[in-house]
Amino acid sequence: MCKKTVIEAKIIQNQEIAQGVYRMVLSAPEIAAGASCGQFVNLYPKAKHTLLPRPISICEIGEDTLTLVYGVVGEGTREFAGYNAGETIRVSSAIGTGFKPQKTKTAVLVGGGIGVPPLVELAKQMSGEKIAVIGFRDEPFLKEELEKAGAKVYIATDSGKTGFKGNVIELIQEQGISGDYFYSCGPKVMLKALAAYCESINTPVQVSLEERMGCGYGACVGCVCKIKENTETGYEHKKVCKDGPVFLGSEVVWDE
Ligand SMILES: Cc1cc2nc3c(=O)[nH]c(=O)nc-3n(C[C@H](O)[C@H](O)[C@H](O)COP(=O)(O)OP(=O)(O)OC[C@H]3O[C@@H](n4cnc5c(N)ncnc54)[C@H](O)[C@@H]3O)c2cc1C
């Protein structure tokens, strides 16, 4: 099991950057020092009845800070959105097995909605050419941050309000975007389609899975996924919180 450390971190910024999407910057040097791209932290709501911590991916790792970007979907994230700079929040150390940046000529980073944040730190840590293809329902966010990290950014929206009207895979095909390695985070349906696309073009892809989690430390087994193994059943259950959230697209059993 991962070592569990929870600290009270000072909120430096908590600002709405798109409708219902917030950027929270925490002063947390001890957590930042041990964090890597594609990992997540557990944020603890203060309200007693919201028992479980909420897992949020690390968007950027600073020398003394952690940046998180979260969407408001329920009670916990609604509570977080109400915090002001200067207040504190309980946050865990960085958890999970994140992205493994590869030495590549061209990397393609594919994000969907609230799955885009961990791609920012990944882009920052990679050398070589970087192309980010990011999809949203309507309103994009984190474009500038990805550009600052050296990525050429392509945007797709369902509404067609910004960028290409359609999904990220249609955009990749339309623009003829290619690379020697793909990385992705977003809704499962997008990851599944991207894994199939990458298989068809014989290119590896790392995918960050998102399952509902209980403890976030590998103890409650609430977030398992099926990973292909040479066993009788052909798969093994792995914990998204500890063995993941990042797996190779080719090793995930998608149909369930
Ligand atoms: C490894 C990991 C990394 C994540 N990173 C981010 C991130 O960077 N930014 C971000 O905004 N969110 C992220 N999430 C999702 C985030 O944890 C949930 O949105 C949050 O816990 C919801 O808490 P809540 O109390 O607001 O909502 P709840 O009241 O708990 O739930 C409200 C609604 O959200 C749905 N929901 C809750 N959790 C999830 C989930 N994990 N996946 C899909 N639907 C869910 C519920 O089914 C329900 O419909 C991540 C989740 C995981 C597992």
Residue 226 CA to ligand 1 center (angstroms) comes to 20
179 close to ligand 1 (CB < 6 Angstrom): no
Here the tokens at position 226 are 């099926």
List the domain range (segments joined by +) for residue 199: 99-208
- Residue 1 maps to a domain: no
Residue 74 CA to ligand 1 center (angstroms) comes to 8
Here the tokens at position 224 are 């398992």
Cα–Cα distance for residue pair 167/186, rounded to 1 Å:
12
Q: Check residue 1 and give its pLDDT.
A: 40
- Residue 39 maps to a domain: yes
- What string of pLDDT tens digits covers the 256 residues of the chain? 445 699 999 999 999 999 999 999 999 999 999 999 999 999 999 987 777 899 999 999 999 999 999 999 999 999 999 999 999 999 999 999 999 999 999 999 999 999 999 999 999 999 999 999 999 999 999 999 999 999 999 999 999 999 999 999 999 999 999 999 999 999 999 999 999 999 999 999 999 998 776 766 677 677 678 888 877 788 888 887 788 889 999 898 887 5
Q: Check residue 256 and give its pLDDT.
A: 59
37 plus 128 within the same structural domain: no
Q: Check residue 204 and give its pLDDT.
A: 97
Question: What is the number of the ligand 1 atom nearest to the C-alpha of 71?
Answer: 11
55 plus 13 within the same structural domain: yes
104 plus 200 within the same structural domain: yes
- Structural contact between residues 112 and 188, judged by C-beta atoms closer than 8 angstroms: no
Residue 81 CA to ligand 1 center (angstroms) comes to 14
Burial 218-247 (b: 16+ CB within 10 A, else e): beeeebebbbeeeeeeebbebbbbbbbbbb
127 plus 143 within the same structural domain: yes
Cα–Cα distance for residue pair 177/172, rounded to 1 Å:
5
202 plus 104 within the same structural domain: yes
Q: What is the CA radius of gyration of the chain?
A: 18
109 plus 45 within the same structural domain: no
Residue 162 has φ and ψ, to the nearest 5°, of: -130, 135
Q: Check residue 217 and give its pLDDT.
A: 67
At 162-215, the pLDDT tens digits run: 999 999 999 999 999 999 999 999 999 999 999 999 999 999 999 999 877 676
84 plus 129 within the same structural domain: no
Here the tokens at position 232 are 């009788």
Q: Atom 19 (ligand 1): residue with closest C-alpha?
A: 73
Domain count, the chain: 3
Question: What is the number of the ligand 1 atom nearest to the C-alpha of 240?
Answer: 1
Residue 57 CA to ligand 1 center (angstroms) comes to 10
138 plus 196 within the same structural domain: yes
The pTM for the full model equals 0.92
Residue type, 230: N
Residue 212 CA to ligand 1 center (angstroms) comes to 7
183 plus 228 within the same structural domain: no
Check which CATH number belongs to the domain holding 253 and give it.
Answer: 2.10.240.10
129 plus 86 within the same structural domain: no
Q: How many CB atoms lie within 10 A of CB 135?
A: 27
Question: What is the number of the ligand 1 atom nearest to the C-alpha of 213?
Answer: 53
Give the residue, out of 23, 46, 56, 142, with the most ligand 1 atoms within 8 A of its beta carbon, to mutate for a pocket test.
56
Give the residue, out of 54, 67, 142, 207, with the most ligand 1 atoms within 8 A of its beta carbon, to mutate for a pocket test.
54
